[in-house]
Chains A and B, each alone.
Chain A
Amino acid sequence: MIFKLALKNISSKPLRAVATVLVIAIAVALVFSMLSFSDAVYDYLFQVETAGAGISDVTLKTNSTSDRITGVSGLDGIEGVDKVVPTLNMYALSNGQYLSLRGFDKGDYETLADIDVVEGDISLLDQNIDNVVVSESMAEEFDLKVGSSLQIESGEKKLTFYVVAIAKNNGYFLTDSPHVVVCNVKGVSRLIYGEFAVYNEIYLVLEEGASTSSVITEVKSMSDYKDMTVSESKDVKYVENQSTSMSAPVVIAGLGVAVIAIAFVVLISLTSLSERRKYVAKLMGVGGTKSQILFIFLAEVLILAFAGAVIGSVLASGVFAALLAATLSSMIAFSISALKLFGAAVIGFVTAVVAVLVPIATTLNRTVRANENEKKKSVLWTALPIALLLVAVVSVIIEFTAKGGKGSLSLVNVVLVLVALVVNVPFVLRGVAKLLSKFRNPAVQLGSKTTLRERRHTRLQILTAGMTVTMLLFMAWSVTTDIFTGYLTEFEDKVLVTNVHSTIADSPTLEGIADVDGVKSAVPLIWRQGKMVEAGKGKTVNIIGSEKALDLIDFAFVSDDKETMKQILLTPGNIVIDKAYQELYGINVGDKVTVEIDGKSATLTVAGITRHKLFNGNYIIASLDTFEAEYGMGADTVLVVSDDATLMAEKIRSEFVKKNYYAVDALTLYKWDAESLGNVFDLVGTLAIVMVVLVYMVLIASAVASRPNGEKCRTAMLSAGMSRKTLLSSECFEYALNSLVSFVTSFAVSVLMTASLIGALRLFGLYFEFMYSADVVAYVGVALSVGYTLIPLLAGFKKKYTLKRQK
């Protein structure tokens, strides 16, 4: 009987039931996606980072890819080494486009990573040294099929290779930028010498439990490998840093989305609260016991919450896969964590159950009369919004005034300010409505008075919360994209020439590169990555190894002017860091920092501070002499500036064809990074759009679901002779009033929240200057406001104005 009543409740309000289930389902899916995204980014970056090295533990590399060795003797004798995989990697051209050739010895092709063959037979790699495997994306771009021939050239040598298999874009082919071609080491060597086995990268796979560091130490002590860089194949710290940087905007935005999604579950449950209370009163009136009544609602909410949780769980993997495909790669292999899925489902389920049952339980403790005519709120309940507002104000003041108060407090404030806004916005609305109720216009007067008569303003709260978070998401999207675009703009006119001899800086013309027609400037430098121990417990930093970089890149000089800074850098051991390090880690001029590059450490002195969006401030600058003195390194790159970087790269390639330089414009070189990062930022935008849709959906559902509440009043007004047009105008005015209040408050608070958001990003080691795009925020607010105001027209309220129910 009780269960039947619960089912009847559901079936009598099908729209409300569907809306509730949908909101719970979307909340579960979003919460799951947000919980899983960070790990997925880590897994993805880990796969990208290890795409070359695969399952190996130790990597030996020659200092330049043009340095090669002819044997790997002694390595297999080291204790703990299970497999030795020597390879020859080099860049070569095909149709004017660079390819990354990866040569393996016979039988070693899949020792480091599986090749996921889509078409063809990789065993044919053993049959001939000019057989190759290419990726699906390369096959598509180059119009290759199994059996197709591929012309590859290096220097003056041009050879034909044959495609024997096409592989999925995973494993070695994950990033595929430039396209990777897997073949026999002798096949690659033919482009340099002849059919000989020469290598420049050796991978060691260790036995289970073997010590990586002792193997590295032993390899370093062997004279045959003394000139090679020996390091761990998997730089876990680097992957952590990278994944934090990449996922931070989404984690924070996602947190907001998840919180809002859960809040919507609560709010959608509250929209029918008055009706439920009246129903409770009826049931109590006909003698229903407390437990019976509670059980009816429990059964109803359990059915809805269970359906929502189940649909949400099914939806979760799809939503997550879509998010990953849109941001990272459709090829990424991700696994659904059952625990996280269960956790998300439980959050959605419990939220819905609690949101329905707690108010019901409260109602049951009241008298029938009290439930029919809701009692005034308690003092504590009335004081809560003011208290929250005060706490938020104090917390924000602390955040922006106290030293070291940023970071976690910023994150707290993002949430606190939002909650304070949502809780207090009904007071603002009531105040405005009171003022407007004095207008003589009947629609305005009716709309204002209806607003004042309402005890709860759930839809206003939904609208305000949704609008604020959406504004913030669009804001975050705009800020990150702006910064990123600025970063890319800096590279537009630059060409990076690598694979140069380490002595290239000794040549006044940089072996002729500086003399190429159209070169504005050319600087030999070190352009690679290292680790700064003092920053973020060993953060990976980008090394810019030349004082001349100060002329090429548009830095802002914080501690000294440019010329002084250049002089400072000429003292060996001095470095210049970005202001981000000062802000994030408190590193100042005069401090000593330890920088590790390719396994070698040196203590350097911070002698200056600059500021630039480059690598999000994650760089250090030092002179070539410093690297020579401290690390024994020569220049590995020539940075060339010209009017047309693409043309210049081609020019350098053709003019120095014998030298096998790897010359690409910087944007192409960072194409993968740019696309990945751009996609992550776009995910923030996607979430913003999802949020708009979600907010609008919930608002419509809530508006439709709560229509019966005001029916009595509308019927009375119509009976009293009010025209349907005026009634519609009054409803439109009511919605417009809500929109206006929401817009104004959200707009004001968004400035504060943006500041806190930027502070919160520092928790993840990301440094952004404060940037606020009022236009972006305004567009979003206006769009949502207009959308909300139009609901009475779009939902056809006018058609439902009728006198039939009046008895």
Chain B
Amino acid sequence: MKKSSKILIILLVIVTSVAMIFTACDKDEQPVDTRPQTVDRLVSVALKAQNNSWKVDMTEAEIKALSAPATYVVAREWTLFFADVIESGSLQEGKISRIADYLESAEGKALVGGEVDVNNFFDVVRSIGFTGADVETLVYDVLHTFISEGEGIYNRAIADIEKIMGDATLTTEARENAHNQLVKMQTGRDSFKHASLGAEETIKALEDAESGVKNLVSFTYNTAMLFGDGSNSGLFEALQDGSLEGASTSEVATYLSSVVSSVKDMSATIESDAVSIRSAINSLMGFYDLVVVADPTIETIFTVVSNYKTLPTVLPLACDFVENLETIALKGDDYSFIEGVMGCFKEGYTEEYDGANLYIAWSRLILAMLGIDYSESLDTITTQWGSAKEVINDLMNELVVGGNEGAGKDLSIYLAFMLNSESEEDNINGVKTERFASFVLADIYLKQFKKHYREYKSGVVTTPDSLIGSANFLMKYYSGESNVSINTNFTTTWYEGIVNGTLSKMESERTPLYEAAHYEMDNLTKTLTTTFITGLLDMASLTPQKVGTDGYTALKAEVENIYTQIAEAILG
């Protein structure tokens, strides 16, 4: 072989080797999609948390061998529904694993085994580390998917239960369970069929208000996380347990500013989306009224969202209050107001939950929200006081006569009723207190009636006792008579007759009662602007003392004295 040929071959070998090395290095490893497996684990763990013997892939024979086979079928369908929502959503895989981990824990099992209420819901999401974005997406996706695809859950469950029931060897207990669940599922499916005309409209309303609804969800979630709900370490708890002890006044000032800025942003967003949000919530509630949900988590979500109805009214007011607070708190370079309030929460000052120092702090904060700085000179306070009177008047006007609908008015009615509840014979601007009571109770009973009806029809409760009780109260309210009994045929027509009769009566009562309430509110405003604020000012001006000292004993006596005076002045 010639020398040149040898060199050529060597070169070729080198070039080929280098190319192979580069090709090997350049080969991108295809990431393995482990999300389906993670969701599968979640489903498995969630089922196990509900019943230790449940598995996702049980054979027909295994299911039939269970003492409550249909309960398993229904639970599996709901679990798979939530799993589908989670898998197709944006929740990070790590977080899905954390949910599974949580459900595997004793705490998680206890939660699944018990009733899901709002407080538990917040505990769960905090423990897993949900952000506002997670919660808003999950809530929206669950509602959207349930409305659009919920009927399938019932259909699949019915088919499986019917298959189980076809087995002649089924135990009596299992057969009874299958029968009960079948009725429940059929009721759900029928209600879906009944509501299907509105489903499309509800989905459209929901999609139109998607950003607004999501904003509301994340805002309320974040607010709950921030301020605390009594069972977690929010701001109030942090103030009381001394967690903020190390925080500087400037940090608290920034904290406050960020809260104000967030409330303002939300208020502006809600204002622009208010119409679509209300429309979406009304549609959702209309749908919810017709559909038997049969799942406590979705029930909770509907309940939470229905409460958002009041937010478009309340947020601008909240905005005014927090802006007042911010103005006073951030006054001057030394943040003396914050220093003063923080002084009430120093170490050794908050050992007793109902301590005098807390009253002083809250009175300072409430005054600040009304635009009054307790530490200012008398002249300034007098001027601020004048403004505060206007703020309170505006607030009352907003609650009583402002707006055309919403909870603000109902709120004023509750308030007027509560303040005049000593005797049913008392008059409020010529209207007997009894009428206030009936109006308020009718509103409460109407909600109860809807719930009892759904529970009875879905088989959650097997006896109609509660339904009969609430129905009779409402009938008596709008017609003066009641005739509901165990023999009544609880049809949809019957249900709608009671709901419409109650609403019609309430509507006719609303205007005179509001006028009466307005009169009462005027009186209340006068009381507030005289006695209440004077009392708060007296309280705010006190000097916080360390718990357990002689000074604290005297302070506590003084606070209680002022508190009693305020209560007497307001409540008569």
Contacts and interface: CB of A to CB of B under 8 A. Distances in A.
A221 interface: no
A128 B129 contact: no
Contacts of B342: none
A148 B94 contact: yes
A58 to B, nearest CB: 22
Contacts of A142: none
B95 A162 contact: yes
Contacts of A434: none
B92 interface: yes
A692 to B, nearest CB: 29
Nearest to B254: A68
B133 A71 contact: no
B226 interface: yes
B133 A127 contact: yes
Given A194-B222, A195-B222, A198-B254, A128 B134 contact: yes
B246 A659 contact: yes
A119 B28 CA distance: 10
A401 interface: no
B94 A70 contact: no
A662 to B, nearest CB: 15
Given A70-B254, A146-B31, A195-B132, A127 B261 contact: no
A66 B92 contact: no
Contact of A501 (B94, B129, B222, B248): B248
Interface of chain B: mostly helix, strand, loop or mixed: helix
Interface in A115-148: 119, 127-131, 146-148
A705 interface: no
B251 interface: yes
Nearest to B95: A162
B131 A129 contact: yes
Interface in A174-201: 187, 189-190, 193-198
- Interface class of chain A by DSSP: loop
A129 B254 contact: no
B255 interface: yes
Contacts of A189: 258
Contacts of B222: 194-195
Given A160-B129, A195-B222, A149 B246 contact: no
Contacts of B243: 156, 658
Contacts of B226: 193-194
A149 B92 CA distance: 9
A659 B245 CA distance: 10
Contacts of B218: 195
A176 B260 CA distance: 35
B246 A130 contact: no
A128 B255 CA distance: 22
B248 A66 contact: yes
A159 B131 CA distance: 11
Interface in A61-111: 66-71
A197 B261 CA distance: 9
Interface in B237-275: 243, 245-246, 248, 250-251, 254-255, 257-262
Interface in B102-147: 129, 131-134
Contacts of A187: 131
A391 B416 CA distance: 109
Interface residues of A, number: 33
B259 A162 contact: no
B31 A193 contact: no
B41 interface: no
Contact of A147 (B93, B260, B261): B93
Given A70-B254, A146-B31, A194-B226, A128 B94 contact: no
A156 B245 CA distance: 13
Interface in A1-60: none
B191 to A, nearest CB: 35
B309 interface: no
B537 interface: no
B90 interface: yes
B524 interface: no
B258 A70 contact: yes
Contacts of A71: 257, 261
Nearest to B98: A160
Contact of B129 (A130, A131, A195): A130
Contacts of A190: 131
Instruction: Determine which residue in B31, B222, B225, B258 has the highest number of CB atoms from chain A within 10 A of its CB, and name it.
Output: B258
A755 B27 CA distance: 55
A128 B261 contact: no
B246 A658 contact: yes
A189 B225 CA distance: 13
28 contacts: A67-B254, A68-B251, A70-B261, A71-B261, A127-B90, A127-B133, A128-B90, A129-B131, A130-B92, A130-B131, A131-B92, A147-B34, A147-B94, A149-B95, A149-B97, A160-B129, A162-B95, A193-B226, A193-B255, A194-B226, A194-B258, A195-B131, A195-B225, A196-B261, A196-B262, A197-B262, A501-B248, A658-B245
Given A164-B92, A196-B259, 5 more contacts: A69-B257, A70-B257, A130-B92, A148-B94, A198-B258
Interface of B: 31, 34, 90, 92-95, 97-98, 129, 131-134, 218, 222, 225-226, 243, 245-246, 248, 250-251, 254-255, 257-262
Interface of A: 66-71, 119, 127-131, 146-149, 156, 159-160, 162, 164, 187, 189-190, 193-198, 501, 658-659
